[in-house]
Structure 1
Amino acid sequence: MNPVTVVGIGADGWAGLGEPARAAVSSADVVVGSTRQTDLVAGHHEARVVPLPVPLREGLRPLLDSLGRPGDEVHVVVLASGDPMHHGIGRTLAEVLGRERVTVIGAPSSLSLACARLGWGLEDVDVVSAVGRPLERLALVAHPGRRILVLSRDALTPQAVATLLTEHGLGDSLVWVLSDLGGPDERVVEGVAGSWHAVPGSPLNIVAVQCLSSYDSLAGLVPGLADELYETDGQLTKQHVRAATLAALRPAPGELLWDVGGGSGSIGIEWMRAHPTCRAITVEPRSDRIKRIRRNADHLGVPGLQVVEGLAPGALAGLPRPDAVFVGGGLTAEGLVPAVLDALRPGGRLVANTVTLDSESLLLSMFRRYGGSLTRLEVSHADAVGGFTSWNPARPVTQWSVIRPEELPA
């Protein structure tokens, strides 16, 4: 396969390209890119123009294989918007072809240009992409005082951003829509999220947000979100127990959690909120709760939470191997604990909670067999008793936590 040169290009087109980029395009035998990108360099090369494949990742190798006969040297240039290595095709090509076959000539990203216009430091900005990704992820980083840049999917994204911010109590936030950055049609429109009414403009835009709110957010960064943030039918691991449970599960970047007996989805949701690369699969048998879990996940900024309908341990078959497992329901199901321990990678964590004596006796036997730690969590809240105040205890929770050894006991 021929090597590929990836050339980043901005809205200013040929005028904004440096000499190495111009030389690569001018000498190309084939130029690959979207219609908008290839139109920007039209007249500056004699290459054959080829559109990007759909679907992109699956179609790249077959496309590049077809561009020349075996033994021929074909100079292929792939055009990318701005910085090819930031949400761009440069990374995809390096993964598909191998980095040694890809040369990247970058250009300023739309993020850099937006920060230059607003006087923001790029290192202090949170970035959310709505291109091929759910916009609900914005809720994960939208906190009072934060600055956010949203890579728009189309001309309707700015209104969707303003609506989401308002629904999350951030209607006071300042919003800028920066369109066609670096080009002759560059435009900036500004307003307030709660009263946003700008007419949709160019689909090539980025949305900048200065998050403002007149009250404190209930959605903090650490596990143990306020119970009021969850839609629930009562099957919810309560705030203080949830915080202790997530501490025992110890989420780390890139790790996968199985949340068995999802209820309202709180454990899987807060596992994923711990880091953008954390993944979770929630197993829940009831369809009404599955819908509720998905609504909670969207609202709290982790729409990527995967929900599997079914009863464990049968519903666990075929799922990718987890780094941690939480069992919050169905603990007494035949063979559940041995099944999840067997599925866990060595060094993985299993945490199980219960409030019933039946399940507590099971946890005691598992503790004796596999080790780990057995903890009782008791929480009381102050409540009125006539004209006085007293403690109102919640049901105590027994928690078993264990790290899977290399070899499980027989």
Structure 2
Amino acid sequence: MQQTAHRARSQRRQGALAVLRHVHAHPAATRADVARALGLSSGSATEITARLKAARLVAEADPRPTGERGRPSPALVAHPRGPLVCVVDIGHEHWRVATVELGGRIAGLESGRHPDRDADAVLDHLRGKVAAVRRRYGPRVRAVSVAVAGTVRGGTVMQASGMGWSEVDLRRLLPGSGTPLLVGNDASLSGLAEARRGVGVGARVVLHLTVEVGVGGILVVDGRPVDGATGAGGEFGHMPFGDPARACPCGAHGCWDLEVDGRAMARVLGQPPPRDPRTTAERTLRAAAGGDPSARAAVAAAARALGRGVGGLVNALDPDVVSLSGLAIELATTAPDDLNAGYRAGLMRFRRADPPPLLSSTLGPLSPVTGAAEAAFDALLTDEGLESWLADTG
């Protein structure tokens, strides 16, 4: 009898999680949509939805007019007092702090530029922002998820060359807190976002690449990031696709990073290494778009190097699509022929007739926020996460 009751509770919990995951992945789905997608009877979908509404996990909202006859079904949406995740996005120059609800909608966003790149100063400032979010929403904040422009292992930024950080422990953002903290590389999280909510939707294998200061990205397979044994995977910019005599700040030689960003452009232009490679790249791209021949040569060289590296990764990883973000989009726009020539030259012969398309991101600069929220909800929409929510709010 006890085993039967336990099995029934487990089945109810799994049914609730399946519905929650579907609502998160498909915002504004109706009960009928959920029933069809999950193979549920109408009665089961109604019963599960009622339990989720009572637990303040979902709500039903008036649907958008469709123009068709009859009254459309209510949409399942995040509950107005439901769980939230706090996302912290730490870029080379900027910061963002967002609150995100079930379904991926950004419910609140604050942003600014770092007055000082010193790790202590940045984390002290952001710790205050996170504390303010937690004071405002209380136990509704179920996790803090951080996207950072650096190599990450666990909760530590092992290296963020653009900011001069080395082995910075991000657990300082949540001192003495029981709230879970997740940390990921911003480019990798952008790739997760593109695969689930951007240009990669519907593709099984997505290779995402972004150029900011160097190249970052991730391979996403079946909606899951392939980030390695310790979470430090996706550092594609440190593949040896460059000059083997050229030292990289990471400690390796010949890194692809050094061939595609503002450092490469400055080198072609005969300029000294820039303090801010991204600003140098943006300035050079503008000049190239305006017709400056020297700038066009610098951009063309970076675009060809980007294309060759993409070809090498496609040979190795065999993606369905390649999504591009950051300065990679501007390189593709300003020097498309050079990018494509480099890409084709880097591909194995059998791939050239039908290579994976290079697609520009549709999520823009908020893609790291979206990806960090996705990673957090992956951790929350579990048996443990559901039980914790019911214990804290029931």
Q: TM-score range by the shorter chain?
A: under 0.3
* Rg comparison, structure with higher value: 1
Q: TM-score with structure 1 length normalisation? A: 0.27
Higher relative contact order (CA 8 A, sep 6+): 2
Q: Which structure is higher in helix share?
A: 2
